Amino acid sequence: MASSLDAPDQIQIRFLSKQERYAVPDTPFSVPSNITCEGLNTLVNELRKENRRGEEDDEVEFDFLVCQQFLRATLCEHLVEREVSSELVVDVEYVERHPPPQPHECLMHDDWVSAVEACENWILTGCYDNTIQIWTSNGKHCLTITGHNGAVKGVTWLKIIPGLALFASSSQDQTAMVWEWNMENNSVHCAAILKGHERSLECVAGNKNSEDPLVATGGWDTNIKLWSSSLDSPGDERNDHTAAKKMKLSESKCRTPKATLKGHREAVSGVQWIANDELVSSSWDHTVRIWDVDTHTIKQEISGNKSIFDISWSPLSRCLVTASADRHVRLYDPRSTEGSLIKGQYTSHTAWVQSVGWSSVDEFNFISGGYDNQVKLWDTRSPKAPLFDLTGHEDKVLCCDWSNPKLMASGGADCTLRTFRARQSNG
């Protein structure tokens, strides 16, 4: 391997691309060893022009993968860092560069925005003023929902069918609630109150692939609880306003958990369903746990160095990302049988990372939000620098979400929900 001191002046490379319309001949040729992305971009576009024999074609901006990571230094420095010989022909894969997200809406709230989740054309937010808000993806406010007696720390859509939606919320008042939204008359009623936790709740997740979604909640009592979300409360009592009937109805709505998953030693900060019989959780106890829902047992435990504040699982890559108190985002592959389960560490935040969320359509992209007021868009193949910083928040970011592939959303202590249009590359 050539060191940085005796690096060659030229390196042999071969261009490759999985995006066939951008393909150029894969014949090896020499480039300066200190070439960067900009130089490679110029080269590829010239080769494309020659390949098309003078036909009109717009220039395209590309990113370049060498040894499965984006080139962010000179080619020689990149190879030296990865201990790859610069005397061999180096494969350089190029992909269309991710388009920059565009600022979209800034939705004002009366207090800190601590939870957000989008689904189809709708956005749910949870707030420190104990309310839940429903918005359209274009920023129109639909409803303010009251019922909790503490800050709402988690929200999740359970099911949306024509004219009707079901969602759940979790709160510092030690309860979670299941809500039914009649879209036609824009009214919401509480279908169930989930009582059983002994301290405040931090997170809630619904098993959206099930006909009768189970709801999972986690909180400061260190437990995860599983609940039914079925709508079985009698409909004829909803319009009865007598005090006795109201109390009876409230009591009838209360549900006890179907199961309790025990094992975490500190607060459960995040929970997400992986499959109908499997979920993953994160905790302030520095661990990630994967649970067998049927047997209520831990299938796998992953230990970290610091408290973990959020977790997101991608069904596309089947990997996890975590937000941590040490300012890092980490990528885990629970299936890995070789070496560490940590497959990447992403460092750019300058304070706690509070929230993470995978893209629902791209296996390489996720966003993170932190106490440095920043939201960052990452590609797993670029660990040293985010693709973009999504600026705008004037206080710490408490939550972020990319469930709608066209919209990145983040909420913060500046009492705003900010959205960015996620423009998809053509790749």
What CA–CA distance (Å, rounded) separates 338 from 47? 39
- Predicted confidence at residue 234, as pLDDT, reads 40
Q: What is the mean pLDDT of each run of 10 residues along the chain (427 residues)?
A: 58 94 92 95 92 72 95 94 90 95 96 97 98 97 98 97 96 98 96 97 91 91 95 45 46 89 98 96 98 96 94 97 96 90 94 97 97 98 94 97 97 98 69
Q: Report if residue 4 sits inside a domain.
A: no
- Predicted confidence at residue 1, as pLDDT, reads 42
Q: What burial letters (b/e) apply to 160-195, b meaning 16+ CB within 10 Å?
A: beeeebbbbbbbbbbbbbbbbbebeeeebebbbbbb
- Predicted confidence at residue 7, as pLDDT, reads 58
The reply to whether 91 and 20 lie within a common domain is yes
Q: Report if residue 2 sits inside a domain.
A: no
The reply to whether 275 and 370 lie within a common domain is yes
Cβ distance 117 to 108 under 8 Å? no
Domain span holding position 186: 102-421
- Predicted confidence at residue 211, as pLDDT, reads 74
Q: How many residues does the chain have?
A: 427
The reply to whether 267 and 374 lie within a common domain is yes
The reply to whether 157 and 303 lie within a common domain is yes
Quickly tell me which residue has 């929902």 as its tokens.
145
**CATH number of the domain where residue 113 is located:** 2.130.10.10
Other CB atoms within a 10 A radius of the CB of residue 292 amount to 14
Q: Report if residue 207 sits inside a domain.
A: yes
How many structural domains are present in the chain? 2
The model's pLDDT over 224-261, given as tens digits with 9 standing for 90+, comes to 999 999 876 443 334 444 444 444 445 678 999 999 99
Q: Which of 96, 119, 152 is the last residue of a domain?
A: 96
- Predicted confidence at residue 375, as pLDDT, reads 98
- Predicted confidence at residue 102, as pLDDT, reads 95
**CATH number of the domain where residue 54 is located:** 3.10.20.90
The reply to whether 133 and 170 lie within a common domain is yes
The reply to whether 92 and 106 lie within a common domain is no
What CA–CA distance (Å, rounded) separates 266 from 307? 9
Give the helix, strand, coil percentages of the chain, each rounded to 5.
Answer: 10, 45, 45
What CA–CA distance (Å, rounded) separates 177 from 215? 10
- Predicted confidence at residue 208, as pLDDT, reads 83
The reply to whether 47 and 164 lie within a common domain is no
Task: At 109, list the tokens.
Answer: 């709230």
The reply to whether 58 and 122 lie within a common domain is no
What CA–CA distance (Å, rounded) separates 233 from 353? 40
Q: Which of 64, 96, 128 is the last residue of a domain?
A: 96
Q: Report if residue 110 sits inside a domain.
A: yes
Q: Report if residue 287 sits inside a domain.
A: yes
The reply to whether 63 and 116 lie within a common domain is no
- Which residue, among 187, 189, 171, has the nearest Cα to 179 in the 3D structure? 189
Q: Report if residue 427 sits inside a domain.
A: no
- Which residue, among 392, 422, 418, 417, has the nearest Cα to 407 in the 3D structure? 422
Cβ distance 228 to 183 under 8 Å? no
Q: Report if residue 353 sits inside a domain.
A: yes
242 Rama class: left (phi>0) / alpha (psi -120 to 50) / beta: beta
What CA–CA distance (Å, rounded) separates 148 from 398? 19
Q: Which of 96, 112, 140 is the last residue of a domain?
A: 96
Q: Report if residue 320 sits inside a domain.
A: yes
